[in-house]
Structure 1
Amino acid sequence: MRDLLLVLPLLIPLSTAVIGLLFWSRPHLQRALATVGAGLLLASGLGLLVSVRHGGIHTVQVGAWPAPFGITLAADLFSAIMVVLTGLIGLAAVLYSLGSMDAHRERFGYYPLVHILLLGVCGAFLTGDIFNLYVWFEVMLISSFVLMALGGERAQLEGAIKYVTLNLMSSALFLAAVGVLYGIAGTLNMADLSKTLRATPRPDLVLAPAMLLLVAFGIKAAIFPLFFWLPASYHTPPVAVSALFAGLLTKVGVYAMIRVFTLLFDHHAHSAHLIILVASGLTMVTGVLGAVAQNELRRILSFHIISQIGYMIMGLGLFTPISLAGSIFYIAHHIIVKTNLFLISGLVFQLQGSYQLKRLGGLYRKHPGLAALFLTPALSLAGMPPLSGFWAKLILVKAGLELQQYLIVAVSLMVSLLTLFSMLKIWNEAFWKAAPAEHSASLSRGTQLALFLPVLGLAAITLWIGLMPEPLFSLSEQAAQQLVDPTEYIRRTLGE
């Protein structure tokens, strides 16, 4: 049963994509299948999380080849949390797509592509082998590139070319690092690599693949100064695709950074943590300044992805149990909040026909419910109490003060104020000022249900985490302890 729980998050999206392709000419069946598949993925993730929390780390040796020779799947609490979040965001994006995706994209396999993307994301979270982490990254890259370009609009193709070019460079660096690691250690199983690298007589050699992986994952995660592909591309596809990308793709890069710099390089790359801490501060500042300078709704939100990535890697740079718990808490909070903000931007577009702030207005009076739904994730992103973002930032600030890292703490607080400023800018322009005369639309009841249901659900989760942060924080603390002391992960993976 434990083995099945570990494999289901891969089998479900794979089966959903394959069956969906068999019904290529029947979009109604594809929609139903995609919704059921996303719901099952969420359920399997929750089952895996409960099982890992009570039964310890789960591992599967694919094809019965013993580790470190075969393909290993492994799930600790960090992996299981990320799989749950993947299922949640996948379900929200699919439900939203039911009311927003055009028939042209549906006819060209939109829903199977979404599930192939979810397959790649879950594979990256569950693999125990660094080469297979590269393989799952490529699955994500291929599916995300097609989703971004699907529709063939000029802006989409331009954004997709920038996106794929930089990510291919990241893949090349990743593969080079894998080759160097294999040359040093003679293995690619991450648990076995951890043991081998700790015992290597040439620790100076380990720094080279560490830096290669930092750059490769830094491109994927969009950290400073490797972020410029993201705001040039994330605003171009349909909003459901933007929301899916915003919620998940950069977080896979952050996950990979945390995984390798706690499991593989914790003893040999101490200088890397200082580099990560400096990069986190610069990422926060450049991202939020970019957001403040924008006047297009999705571009503002895209720059905020960059800014918030800085908080996530701040915990890794500080590298204490409480700071890593803060990073995990922050990742969970941000995935939910950022996805929701992109979905709300799509609702604004549906109602007023533009993402340009100058062409928006009056939504507070016409749609007070939507205004409340916007304020929940917007204020949470800025770290206002008692929402989830407040607790996420409080944990990281506490960790920074304990280490007397006052500069990064000051930067994080300043960036929170600028984030609040940019969210109020959206509020004033889109919701508070007088309504423009150019465009006003009404939505059918079915469309409203499909568009508002995921937004309402994600807003409710944000409120729940804010009002009851202890369950998620306790889970994050346990996950952080497993990262700081990977003994059980290594023992379970290698079957010792």
Structure 2
Amino acid sequence: MTGSALALFVAIPLITAGLLVPLKERWRLNAAVLMTVLAGSLGGGVALVLAARDGSTLATSIGLWQAGIAIPFAADMLTALMLTATGLLTLTCSGFAIATRYASHRYFAPLVLVLTAGVNGALLTADLFNLFVFIEVMLLPSYALFVLAAPGRGRLWAVAGARLYVTVNLLTSTIFLAGVGFVYGVAGTVNLAELAGAAKEDDAVAAAVAICLFALSIKAAVVPVHGWLARAYPATSPTVTAMFSGLHTKVAIYAIYRIYAVIFDGDSRFLWIGVAAFSITMVVGVLGAVGETTTRNILAFHMISQIGYILMGVALFGLVGLTAGIFYLIHHMIVKASLFLSTGAVEVRYGTGSLDRLGGLAKREPWIAVSFFAAALSLAGVPPFSGFVAKLSLLMASLSEGQIVAAVLMVLVSIVTLMSMLKIWSGVFWGHPPEGLDPAPAGADAPADPDEDEAGAEPAAAAVAAASSAAGSAASSPGTQGTARPDGAVATLPADAAVSSAEPGRRRIGPALIAPGLALALVTLTLGLGGELLLSLSETAALGLMDTSGFVEAVLGR
């Protein structure tokens, strides 16, 4: 692969999204095209990993302008790993969306493709202003995906979650853009290569870039600016929650790694701030999960906790710490998506994620139980899964850097994480099912097929009517279902449940719903048993962050 091909990671999804909009009534064709483009993006990420395995960096300037004016794209091993991981997760979550018929909404495929273009652009750009632009490209379709197919009452709390999500991200984007403006004002450029080491030498540049890092910390949900994630993510559909878990916060984390390595050149003066903030994030996130009673709320708080682990790699700026942090980043993206998809399949099928309304599913749904259990053990750091390799590597890095308190907290948080995962296991999969626990009624499973809807009604309309008649008065009771609203109340139906629950005549979760979460659980097992490969690639990425000269030279065209 050559540097000129990097633009295709953005161009192809954007062009395809535009072409699919007129085909809004052909959702199966849209879904096929979507999966093809996403598979191509994943293949491109793998090709970049192979191209960057020797530590080289591919770069290009978009628009044929000279370096410093054109939009710079660059891909080293860290970029390649992230493109591969995000491509895998977007493809898997889209497959889940097709299985639940969430993808039958006429704008789902174009929105996911625009989201993919934004994610790819944010990972590839070597310019702070264009990082802002691509983050906005990434966020715009996300606002629509939040409420895309949530019918009836589901739309009300999905809108509330989207309102919180939009408000926080608009504020954060404003802060980030202000930081970019300050950087340009004091340095005269926003090109990462031209800013290399500037924050280490000039305190004014350091202060300006710190504003950008603060904004990215909000997007990454670092304590104390974390509350929005725990309230917003459970408010949307299981499909979108799983997809966002591997994209939005992880792009912000990637940007933090990149900016601190290039512009701050790993300046040790500020690392103690990261150690303190990320240690607190680990603890607050896991404690927040203790009091939750729904699967997605618990997993959302654990997501915050695990972000503390991932970013600790930056605070332990060194070869061992960065390697462990990058490995942890890739591991967490896979495991967290697997957990959201497994519990999402239960929520979609049974209409609730509340622990007190589920139980005994290990016998009824053994494959989902296996999928969840494997990913849960990996999240807690139990061998032989990738979580064990990730946490052990990070623990060793903390000890080697003399961060004893951080190391102790990692162990304690891992224990509480395991207890929380056992809490979900006991509530959802173990014991006896509560009286009346049955899959959602026939007819509540999916929206009407847009290709067969002669009246041209909204795809979710038939499902809404079926779900409403089946749920009756119980659906209007605040305690009947378990998905949390952003305001802390309990919602009546998960966003996917009314449109994609059971298939008529079936009493078990079907293979199409099981496969996405189980496939990612198998990936985490593979990365645990064969962790040396990803550790080696992560080390190559870490070396690129410690010595950014190759990245700088490639971007500047020298």
> Contact 1:124–1:136 (CA<8 Å) still a contact in 2?
yes
Q: For 2:316 and 2:260, how far apart are their aligned partners in 1?
A: 12
> Contact 1:322–1:399 (CA<8 Å) still a contact in 2?
yes
Q: For 1:436 and 1:16, how far apart are their aligned partners in 2?
A: 47
**What aligned pairs does 1:170-189 form with structure 2 within 5 A after superposition?**
170-189=172-191
> Contact 1:326–1:476 (CA<8 Å) still a contact in 2?
yes
> Contact 2:122–2:131 (CA<8 Å) still a contact in 1?
yes
Which residue matches 2:539? 477
Q: For 2:313 and 2:74, how far apart are their aligned partners in 1?
A: 23
- Secondary structure of residue in 2 paired with 1:73: strand
Which residue matches 2:224? 225
Q: Deviations over 1:107-126 (max 9, x none)?
A: 3x011111111111111100
Which residue matches 2:524? 462
Q: For 2:169 and 2:323, how far apart are their aligned partners in 1?
A: 28
Which residue matches 2:343? 345
Which residue matches 1:140? 138
Which residue matches 1:490? 552
> Contact 1:83–1:125 (CA<8 Å) still a contact in 2?
yes
Greater radius of gyration (CA): 2
Q: Deviations over 1:280-333 (max 9, x none)?
A: 111101100111110011000111110000001111111111101111000100
Shift of residue 410 of structure 1?
Answer: 0.6
Q: For 1:294 and 1:424, how far apart are their aligned partners in 2?
A: 13
> Contact 1:292–1:300 (CA<8 Å) still a contact in 2?
yes
Q: Which amino acid aligns with 1:244?
A: M
> Is the aligned partner of 1:78 residue 2:78?
yes
Which residue matches 1:332? 330
> Contact 2:226–2:304 (CA<8 Å) still a contact in 1?
yes
Q: Deviations over 1:165-201 (max 9, x none)?
A: 1111111111111111111111111001115555x5x
Identity of aligned residues (%): 42
Q: How high is the TM-score relative to the length of structure 1?
A: 0.95
Where structure 2 has 5 or more consecutive residues not aligned to the other structure, the ranges are 440-501
Q: For 2:39 and 2:51, how far apart are their aligned partners in 1?
A: 18
Q: Deviations over 1:403-453 (max 9, x none)?
A: 111000011111000000000000011011101222322657898232122
Pair 394,319 (structure 1): closer, same or farther in 2 beyond 3 Å: same
Q: For 2:514 and 2:526, how far apart are their aligned partners in 1?
A: 18
- Secondary structure of residue in 1 paired with 2:528: helix
Task: Compare the two structures and name the one with the higher helix fraction.
Answer: 1
> Contact 2:55–2:540 (CA<8 Å) still a contact in 1?
no
Q: Deviations over 1:117-136 (max 9, x none)?
A: 11111111000111000001
Which residue matches 2:205? 206
Which residue matches 2:196? 194
Q: Which amino acid aligns with 1:377?
A: A
Which residue matches 2:53? 53
Shift of residue 22 of structure 1?
Answer: 2.5
Q: Which amino acid aligns with 1:217?
A: L
**What aligned pairs does 1:81-480 form with structure 2 within 5 A after superposition?**
81-102=81-102, 106-107=105-106, 109-151=107-149, 153-194=155-196, 196-197=198-199, 203-266=202-265, 270-441=268-439, 443=503, 448-480=510-542
Shift of residue 456 of structure 1?
Answer: 2.2
Q: Deviations over 1:435-477 (max 9, x none)?
A: 1222322657898232122222211111100101000000000
Pair 484,80 (structure 1): closer, same or farther in 2 beyond 3 Å: same
Q: For 1:239 and 1:253, how far apart are their aligned partners in 2?
A: 22
Shift of residue 54 of structure 1?
Answer: 4.3
After superposition, the CA RMSD in angstroms is: 1.7
- Secondary structure of residue in 1 paired with 2:372: helix
> Contact 1:96–1:450 (CA<8 Å) still a contact in 2?
yes
> Which moved further from structure 2: 48-57 or 334-343?
48-57
> Contact 1:5–1:48 (CA<8 Å) still a contact in 2?
no
Q: Which amino acid aligns with 2:536?
A: S
Which residue matches 1:27? 27
> Contact 2:102–2:149 (CA<8 Å) still a contact in 1?
no
> Contact 1:5–1:47 (CA<8 Å) still a contact in 2?
no
Q: Which amino acid aligns with 2:522?
A: A
Larger relative contact order (CA 8 Å, sep ≥ 6): 2
Shift of residue 366 of structure 1?
Answer: 1.2
Q: For 1:228 and 1:236, how far apart are their aligned partners in 2?
A: 13
> Which moved further from structure 2: 269-278 or 78-87?
269-278
Where structure 1 has 5 or more consecutive residues not aligned to the other structure, the ranges are none
Shift of residue 353 of structure 1?
Answer: 2.1
> Which moved further from structure 2: 139-148 or 302-311?
139-148
Q: How high is the TM-score relative to the length of structure 2?
A: 0.85
> Contact 1:101–1:238 (CA<8 Å) still a contact in 2?
no
Shift of residue 393 of structure 1?
Answer: 0.6
Q: For 1:128 and 1:426, how far apart are their aligned partners in 2?
A: 42
